[in-house]
Structure 1
Amino acid sequence: MITRVAVVPYPPLLVPALTVRADAETERLRGACLRAVSSLADSSAEWVAVGVDPSGPIRFSSNTAGTFAAYGRDVRVSLGDATPGDGVEPDPDLPLPALIAGLLREQAGARAVDVRLLAPGTPAEQCRDLGAELAGADTALLVLAEGSNCSDERSPHRPDHRAAPLDDLLATALAGVDAQALMELDPALCAEVGVPREALQVLPGVVADGTWRGELLYSGTPFGVTYEVATWTRAD
């Protein structure tokens, strides 16, 4: 069964080769993500990753490879030990959450990650049911999700006064393993402020049984987008 979960964001700035010079906040975010996924690798060498993308619902197996070429540099990653050099051609259209899952898998030294991307607008109950389906698997879970993208003047979208309170709610829920708070996220609000709540709503299905402990490793808005990094560990 799943006993370890990591929640991480998926911005391209996690890729060192895509930035000329990372500032201290970027390094802090990268360090928190590496710490989170290293804890997954300590639990299992086989991962399942869940994210959200317009191409969903779609699944990418561990024999998939991709490239960050669309983000400025041909940095190649794979979802399993097979690499492009082994005859697996990189998919130039592999969605960003899957690319980041592959990058973090490689950084943590895990054997493979199976990526499942939900469609935006997937009902909360379906997300929870996917979590319940995954809960019994002999694997670790990587959830790719971010906070709002419109909380301040640096944001890529017009600031929205509702964004910061939602980000605070997410940070509190992730720190405290508050599955009910995640299930009660407002779908319309999340869509309007850029929060992929569908991935987060897989978590209640995973942690429905047992006692879980949460740790918030990072919460910040370095470039106008809020990122949270957390781990959940089964304690019984």
Structure 2
Amino acid sequence: MLVAAAVCPCPPLLVRDIAAGAAPELDAARDAASDALGVLAAARPDLLLVVGPATGSESGTYPAGTRGSFRSFGEGLTVRLGEGPAQERQLPPSLCVAAWLLERAHWAASPVEGIGVDERLARDRCTATGREAAARGERIAMLVMGDGSASRTLKAPGYLDARAEGFDREAARALGTADTEALAALDAGLAQELKAAGRAPWQVLAGAAEGAGLQGRLLYEDAPYGVGYFVATWS
């Protein structure tokens, strides 16, 4: 059963070593993420599942101890997802950011495993994945990585799209109120057009939280670089 969840954005710029001189621009997001991880630790889970967007080949499960790096972003920093033997498979970028957040927080509250979710995965498959994940134990927590639209400004990665602000507003409301029905109702086609990588992981969370009676709180909402970033806790 899901007892707690934290939602965080997953841009590589969240990692201070990559952001370099621009690091202060996301300090508020980092601080909110730290607070969110504190809520997860306080829930005393038996297992933390880290869920993040992935490409087709990167989707699937990642055991504790799986490593990753930020070399593709020009930084040699390496990370590890929890404690465990090294794996041949490498973490996708979203789970690398999650692993960095957990290492930064000195996570020791429970074992950690990862799930890479194909960004194109259909809603019903996402919610089913969430239900299966929540059924893995009596006290399951989730760290859910994902960004909102990437089309909030002319200089955004997806250019300006008038629909982006409304999409992000509804996503932020749903994440901040633990509204599983609203998250499950997010339009996958629109999310893809707006380059909103968080849609599929959020819908996994929606499935996992069905019937759990969790309360939500939005800790951070902004759109630096024209991309919607949110931090929320469910407990």
- Name the TM-score, length of structure 1 as normaliser: 0.89
Deviation at 1:47, TM superposition (A): 1.1
Distance 2:14 2:151 in 1: 20
Q: Is the 8 A contact 1:174 1:216 kept in 2?
A: yes
Asked if 1 retains the 8 angstrom alpha-carbon contact of 2:2 and 2:212, the reply is no
Paired residue total: 228
Equivalents in 2 of 1:90, 1:69: separation in Å?
17
* Counterpart residue identity of residue 128, structure 1: T
Q: State the distance in 1 between where 2:120 and 2:158 align.
A: 20
How much does 1:71 deviate?
1.1
- Residue 23 (structure 1) shift: 5.4
2:221 & 2:142 partners in 1: Cα distance? 20
Residue 33 of structure 1 and its aligned partner are, at CA, apart by 1.1
**Structure 1 unaligned residues grouped into runs of 5+:** none
Q: What TM-score results when the alignment is normalised by the length of structure 2?
A: 0.90
Q: Using the aligned pairs only, state the percent identity.
A: 32
Distance change (3 Å), C-alpha of 1:90 and 1:121: closer
- Structure 2 residues not aligned, in runs of 5+: none
Shift of 1:134: 1.7
Name 1:109's counterpart in structure 2.
106
Question: Equivalences for 1:1-236 in 2 at 5 Å?
Answer: 1-22=1-22, 24-43=24-43, 44=45, 46-54=47-55, 55-82=57-84, 88=86, 94-111=91-108, 112-136=111-135, 137=137, 138-196=139-197, 197-233=199-235
1:88 Cα deviation after fit: 3.6
Shift in Å, 1:22: 3.8
CA distance in 1, matches of 2:158, 2:191: 14
Quick one: which amino acid aligns to residue 108 of structure 1?
A
Q: Secondary structure at the match of 1:125?
A: helix
Partner AA of 2:194 in structure 1? V
Paired with 1:79 and 1:150, the residues of 2 have a C-alpha distance of 31
Q: Aligned-pair RMSD on alpha carbons?
A: 1.9
Q: Is the 8 A contact 1:105 1:113 kept in 2?
A: no
Question: For the Cα contact (< 8 Å) 2:131–2:207, is it kept in 1?
Answer: yes
